[in-house]
Amino acid sequence: MRGIGFLVALGFSWFAAGGAHAQVRDGDVRLYLDASLLTWTKQITEAEGAGLSSEEEITTIGSGLLGAGGVGVGYAVSPYLLPELYVSLQNAKIDTGDGDVNLRQWELRPCLEVPLLPDQRFVPFLMGGMTLGRTVTKGDSDDDDDVTMFGLGPALGAGAHAFITERASLDLSLVFRGTFFVKNDLADALPDGVDLTVKQYTLLLNLGASFWL
């Protein structure tokens, strides 16, 4: 946290001194990393068929910089359009009411970022793309098996880059991620004729840093 506080203080000093004149330029390569200050996740599991009908909702809220984070790379084909590729990992412990479950989720996100004021020091942006995810859950007991699920869905976000030097920025973003799991181990254990649907909705408040080359 001290390191992040130092970066924020450095950013304010650059803004106050007027020392950073930066912009998103045509041909820039963006290398970036981030971590989630706050995560909110709702998972909905529905089973239908063969006389069975059930629905379960689990909502979790996590905070701290060590729960989720990732790295990415982008290329400015124009100052107003950056195709990007982002990879992240999220770890969490979920209280299901029947015991704790450990969750680990990997995400691959191809996306497009649209800077709205690319010639300014403070650059707000919009983001849209697709999330491709692999989620592994396991109970606290050593006898519990891993449950693996693969899913995909939309990813939407908004945020801002605050340039602290001509080639470095602090980034803040809010990202919505909707994942619809198309394959999971739970479905394989159900009787024939029972359809299982698992959906997950996630909001992430991210703090990060970018280097523009």
pLDDT score at 174: 98
Whole-number average pLDDT of the chain: 83
Complete domains list, the chain, with CATH:
2-212 (2.40.160.20)
Tens digit of each residue's pLDDT (9 = 90 or more) over 165-209 = 989 999 999 999 999 988 777 666 666 667 788 899 999 999 999
Write out the H or E segment, with its range, that includes residue 174.
Answer: strand 168-184
CB contact at 8 A, 211 and 168 = yes
Tens digit of each residue's pLDDT (9 = 90 or more) over 6-54 = 444 544 444 444 444 468 999 999 999 999 999 998 888 887 776 666 7
> Model pTM greater than 0.85?
no
Tens digit of each residue's pLDDT (9 = 90 or more) over 125-146 = 999 999 999 988 877 766 677 8
CB contact at 8 A, 34 and 206 = yes
**Higher-confidence position of 50 and 77:** 77
d(CA 115, CA 23): 10
pLDDT score at 1: 44
Tens digit of each residue's pLDDT (9 = 90 or more) over 157-173 = 999 999 999 899 999 99
pLDDT score at 137: 80
d(CA 107, CA 194): 28
